[in-house]
Amino acid sequence: MVVPGFLTNDFFTRLLRQFLRKSGYAVYGWNQGINLGNLENLKTLTERMHAIQLQHQQKVALVGWSLGGIYVREIAKQHPEMVQQVITMGSPFAAPEAPNYAVWVFNLFSNFDEIDKAWRDQLPVPAPVRTTALYSTRDGIVPWQACLEKEDELHH
């Protein structure tokens, strides 16, 4: 399942999904329209992942871009028994409150400071599944240091 970043939708991940499909994977988008940063999306995504897992009778690989990566990490933390692996791309989970160019836009739709502080504080905690964090040192939106996973046998 591929989850788009903030203010994007499945259209923006179509090339990635096409590539994965051509590589032999059963691929699913998030099917929720534009990602406006609503945490209620986590419930819907979890239900979607569960349906995919039941359909294929195997664990699901989750791919998330930016805010979508934060979503998939959180889902993997809540349901590691259903997740094969997590791949994040440019997702600032290690320091979501670090200054970046996306926060001011996010605050136009909702207020980051109003999101439960305990939930925000635990975002850097890794999921107990195999995880790969992809990032660019020249991202231009979020600081690359905020996208780093502390490396160990499960996390790269």
Predicted pLDDT at 135: 95
The predicted structure's pLDDT at residue 131: 97
What are 119-138's pLDDT values in tens digits?
Answer: 888 999 999 999 999 999 99
Percent of the chain with pLDDT over 70: 89
The pLDDT of residue 95: 85
User: What are phi and psi for residue 81, nearest 5 degrees?
Assistant: -65, -15
Over residues 62-116, the pLDDT tens digits come to: 999 999 999 999 999 999 999 999 999 999 999 877 777 676 667 666 666 666 7
Give the pLDDT confidence score for residue 114 in this predicted structure.
Answer: 66
What is the per-residue pLDDT for 8? 95
Give, as one character, the DSSP assignment of residue 58: S
Q: Residue 109 has what pLDDT?
A: 67
Burial class, 131, CB count within 10 angstroms (exposed 0-12 / middle 13-18 / buried 19+): buried
Q: Residue 98 has what pLDDT? A: 76
Task: Dig out the tokens for 122 from the structure.
Answer: 């635990």
Rounded Cα gap, residues 9 and 68, in angstroms: 10
Handedness of CA 89, 17, 38, 119 (dihedral sign): negative
What pLDDT digit, counting tens, does each position of 22-54 carry? 999 999 999 999 998 888 899 999 999 999 999
